[in-house]
Amino acid sequence: MKAIVCNKYGPPDVLELKEIKKPLPTENQILVKVHSASLNFGNLVLLKGKPFLARFAFGLTRPRYSIPGGDIAGKVEAVGKDVKLFQVGDEVFGDLSGCGWGGFAEYVTVPEYALALKPANISFEEAAATPMAGVTALQGLRDKGKIKSGQKVLIYGASGGVGTFAVQIAKSFGVEVTGVCSTRNLEILHSIGADHIIDYTKEDFTKNEESYDLILGVNGSNSISAYKRVLKPNRNFVHVGGSESQLFQTLVLGPFISMTGSKKISNLLQRANQKDLNCVKELLDTGKVKPIIDKRYKLSEITEAFKYFQEGHAQGKVVITL
Encode pLDDT of 8-58 as tens digits. 999 999 999 999 999 999 999 999 999 999 999 888 888 888 878 788 888
In tens, the pLDDT along 70-101 reads 999 999 999 999 999 999 999 999 999 999 99
B/e letters for 178-195, b = 16+ CB within 10 Å, e = fewer, are: bbbbeeebbebbeebebe
Write down the H helix ranges in the chain: 41-48, 55-58, 124-128, 131-138, 161-172, 186-191, 224-229, 244-260, 274-285, 302-309
State the Cα–Cα distance between residues 99 and 109, nearest whole angstrom: 10
Residue 242 CA: distances (Å) to CA of 119, 204, 238, 271 = 31, 17, 11, 18
pLDDT of residue 15: 96
In tens, the pLDDT along 123-178 reads 999 999 999 999 999 999 999 999 999 999 999 999 999 999 999 999 999 999 99
User: In whole angstroms, how large is the CA radius of gyration of the chain?
Assistant: 19
In tens, the pLDDT along 244-288 reads 788 888 888 888 788 888 999 999 988 999 999 999 999 999 999
pTM of the model: 0.95
pLDDT of residue 273: 93
E strands present in the chain: 2-5, 16-19, 29-38, 71-79, 91-95, 107-111, 115-117, 152-156, 176-181, 196-199, 212-217, 231-239, 264-267, 293-298, 317-321
State the Cα–Cα distance between residues 19 and 276, nearest whole angstrom: 34
Residue 245 CA: distances (Å) to CA of 155, 205, 248 = 19, 19, 5
Q: Which H/E stretch holds residue 15? A: none
Q: Give the contacts of 131 (CB within 8 A, at least 6 positions apart).
A: 70, 71, 93, 94, 95, 272, 277, 280
What percentage of the chain reaches a pLDDT higher than 70? 100
